[in-house]
Amino acid sequence: MTHKIAPSLLSADFGNLQAAIEMVNQSEADWLHLDIMDGVFVPNISFGFPVLKYVKEISTKPLDVHLMITDPIKFIKEIKEIGAYMMNVHYETCVHLHRTVEQIKENGMKAGVTLNPHTPVSLLEDIVSDVDMVLIMSVNPGFGGQKFIEHSIEKVKKLKELINSKNAKALIEVDGGINLTTGKQIVEAGADVLVAGNSVFKAENPAQMIHQLKHLD
C-alpha cells in the first residue's frame, strides 16, 4: 500500500487559511491533519470548533482530528458534527480507553490512539485490534517545528510487529519532524501515514513538497 500524506494545518499561515486549505485540496495529500490543544495536556492552545467548522466547509480531504486534550470523550459528538473522518485521542489522557474508542466508532468515525514519545507501544497490546490507527508522536506534542526523535523509527518497527502478531488492521501514523529524510526512514520502518507540518507549509512550493513526500522512492 502506498503511504498517505496528511499535511498538518497547525503550520499553515492562519492569516490566509482558505488558500492553505485549497492548496491541500488540489494536492496529492490524502488527509488534512488538525491538532486540537487545550493548554492543559500540552503547553499550547491551537484552535477550536468554530475554526474546525470553517475548515470542513472548504476542505475536500478527509479530516484527521488529533485531540491533545484532557477528557476527549466529552467532545466526541462535536467532532462528529464537524464531519471528522478520524478522531485521534491520546492514550495518556483516556482512563477508559476502550470505552472512548467504542464511542468514537459508534458515532461513525474511525478511531485512532496516540502515543507520546515516552509511552511504550506494549501498552497497546489489549486495544490494538480495536483501533483503526495508532499515531506515534516523534516529537513532544504541543508545538510545530521540533526536531525528530530518532528512537521513533524503532518504535514504529515494534508497533508493526505488535499489529502483525495480533492480526490487527491498524494503520501507523507518525507526526513530528517529518521531512524527506525522516519520512523515508519512517515509511521503511512500517508507517502508513505521514503527518507533515513545517516541511509542507514552510516550503517554497508546498504542493510539490507533498508530491515528494508521497513519492519517497
**Which pLDDT belongs to residue 217?**
75
8 A C-beta contact, residue 87 and residue 65: yes
Residue 151 phi, psi dihedral angles, 5° rounding: -60, -20
What the chain holds in terms of domains, given with CATH numbers, is 4-214 (3.20.20.70)
Marked catalytic residue, from 38, 132, 175, 192: 175
175: annotated active-site residue = yes
Write phi, then psi, for 96 (nearest 5 degrees): -115, 75
Name, in order, each residue with C-beta under 8 angstroms of 103's C-beta and a sequence gap of 6 or more: 73, 76
Whether 35 is catalytic: yes
| Predicted model pTM | 0.93
pLDDT tens for the chain, residues 1 to 217: 589 999 998 888 878 889 999 999 999 999 999 988 654 455 565 666 777 788 899 999 999 999 877 787 888 999 999 999 999 999 998 889 999 999 999 999 999 999 999 999 999 999 999 999 999 999 886 555 668 999 999 999 999 999 999 999 999 999 999 999 999 999 999 999 999 999 999 999 999 999 999 999 7
Of the residues 35, 38, 64, 132, only one is catalytic, namely 35
